[in-house]
Structures are given as structure tokens and as C-alpha cells.
């Protein structure tokens, strides 16, 4: 194989790897922000890199003690299929919270993660 063919092969493999990595829903933005402090938190809003499968994408919220904050199921925003929203029944009490999420793209690829934030009155 000539040097130019080797370079071309490496280029194609790198290009395919980038395409495969881009096919997964990645968290792009969150409200409240990871590690941040927020006032009067009434919802958790996560924005991903691609459209989500509504039935399979979830948000779970826990208090700083690890105790689950029981809320309705998260939904995909009707105005943006890349945004997952957990609307809270009432404003969060002051304290530290953990957000755990799982996102499944419409192509079936799944990612998950989590972060913490602090709610203030």
C-alpha cells in the first residue's frame, strides 16, 4: 500500500469514528447549570445534541441525601425534540440536588450522565 493510500485509509477511519460518535445524544446545556446555584427552581431542562426518543429518555432528581425527589415523568419539549424537561410540582427547597439522566436518540443510541446543583430560596 502506498503512503497516500495509507493516509487515505487513516482519514476514512477517523471520519467514520467521528460519524459514529456524533450519532449519540450528548448533553449540550442544562438548567439549572451543572455545579451552579439557582433560585426558585421549578423545572429541570436538559438540551441534547440530537432528537430524543420520548418514551426512553428520563430525568431522575435526588436530594443531597440521595433520597429521590418524586416527580412526574420527564417529557420531551414539544417545541424542540432535543430538549428533555422535568416539571416540578413545587419549587425546590434550598439544598444540594443530583440530576441523573438517560437520553436515547431517535436512532436508538443511549447515553447517560449526571450532575449536581444547589437550589437557593
Pick left, alpha or beta for residue 79 (phi over 0 → left; psi -120 to 50 → alpha; otherwise beta): alpha
DSSP 44-82: EEEEESS-B-TTT-EEEEEETTS-B---PPPEE-TT-TT
Structural domains in the chain, sorted by start: 25-120 (2.60.40.1220)
| Digit-coded pLDDT (tens) for 28-42 | 999 999 999 999 999
The pLDDT of residue 4 is 55
Cα distance between residue 117 and residue 98, in whole Å: 7
- The stretch 16-28 carries a mean pLDDT of 67
Amino acid at each position: 500500500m502506498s503512503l497516500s493510500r495509507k493516509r487515505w485509509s487513516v482519514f476514512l477511519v477517523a471520519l467514520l469514528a467521528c460519524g459514529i460518535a456524533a450519532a449519540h445524544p450528548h448533553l449540550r446545556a442544562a438548567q439549572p447549570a451543572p455545579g451552579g446555584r439557582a433560585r426558585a427552581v421549578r423545572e429541570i431542562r436538559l438540551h441534547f445534541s440530537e432528537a430524543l426518543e420520548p418514551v426512553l429518555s428520563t430525568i431522575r432528581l435526588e436530594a443531597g441525601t440521595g433520597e429521590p425527589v418524586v416527580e412526574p415523568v420527564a417529557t420531551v419539549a414539544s417545541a424542540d425534540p432535543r430538549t428533555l424537561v422535568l416539571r416540578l410540582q413545587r419549587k425546590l427547597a434550598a439544598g444540594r440536588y443530583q440530576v441523573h439522566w438517560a437520553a436515547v436518540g431517535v436512532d436508538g443510541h443511549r447515553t447517560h450522565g449526571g450532575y449536581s446543583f444547589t437550589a437557593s430560596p
